[in-house]
């Protein structure tokens, strides 16, 4: 009996199987509904479809809070604060004794990954936060190659009041 062995079941697998079973049943009812000509039977099939849809919705809404908490936990580990941006800017300006203040987009990502030992997604989020703080207003042509645009991080730090 299921109640006796409940602890041995993987809840997520069980829910997925239940959803698959309901979807399969729903598909068969839709096929039967399409074949049915008599309005009384069509109404019965439609009611059964609505019941199945409601059960699917109930299962999904009951499991969503669990998924929301997992997503929230992941987002919190990827949070980009202004303090983190300031720390990254200070580091980038300090690389090579402060003589290197112009960086291309890819160089910033590479330096963030090296500095924070993070993945590319986190580095991109940091650059995204920097852009929302006005990084694009500190674009300059690259001194050694004017075909590339770079960001003057010294200007950015001055604009943001980062010492």
Residue 95: enclosing H or E segment and its boundaries? Answer: none
CA-closest candidate to residue 157, choices 86, 91, 80: 86
pTM > 0.85: no
Q: Which residues contact 157 (CB under 8 A, 6 or more apart)?
A: 89, 90, 93, 163
Q: Cα–Cα distance between 153 and 161 in angstroms, integer? A: 12
- Cβ–Cβ under 8 Å, residues 111 and 123: no
- Cβ–Cβ under 8 Å, residues 150 and 159: no
Q: Which pLDDT band, with edges at 50, 70 and 90, does 78 fall under?
A: low
Cα dihedral sign for 40, 45, 46, 52?
positive
- Cβ–Cβ under 8 Å, residues 129 and 53: no
**Higher confidence at residue 96 or residue 20?**
20
- Cβ–Cβ under 8 Å, residues 104 and 150: yes
Question: Which ranges in the chain belong to alpha helices (H)?
Answer: 11-35, 39-77, 82-94, 105-116, 120-132, 153-160
pLDDT 10s digits, 121-141: 888 889 888 988 999 899 887
Among the ranges given (33-37, 70-74, 89-93, 111-115), the one the predictor scored with the smallest mean pLDDT: 70-74
pLDDT the model gives residue 69? 59
Give residue 22's Cα distance to chain centre. Answer: 29
Q: Which residues contact 90 (CB under 8 A, 6 or more apart)?
A: 157, 162
Q: Which pLDDT band, with edges at 50, 70 and 90, does 88 fall under?
A: very high
């Amino acid at each position: 009996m299921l109640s006796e062995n409940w602890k041995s079941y993987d809840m997520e697998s069980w829910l997925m199987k239940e959803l698959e079973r309901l979807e399969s049943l729903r598909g068969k009812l839709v096929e039967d509904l399409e074949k049915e000509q008599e309005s009384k039977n069509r109404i019965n099939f439609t009611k059964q479809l609505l019941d199945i849809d409601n059960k699917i919705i109930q299962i999904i809404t009951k499991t969503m809070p669990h998924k929301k908490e997992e997503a929230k936990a992941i987002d919190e580990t990827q949070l980009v604060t202004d303090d983190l941006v300031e720390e990254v800017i200070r580091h980038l300006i300090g690389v090579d004794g402060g003589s290197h203040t112009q960086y291309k987009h890819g160089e910033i990502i590479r330096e963030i990954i090296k500095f924070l030992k993070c993945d590319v997604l986190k580095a991109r989020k940091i650059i995204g936060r920097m852009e929302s703080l006005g990084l694009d207003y500190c674009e300059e042509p690259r001194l050694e190659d004017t075909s590339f645009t770079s960001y003057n991080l010294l200007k950015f730090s001055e604009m943001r009041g980062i010492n």
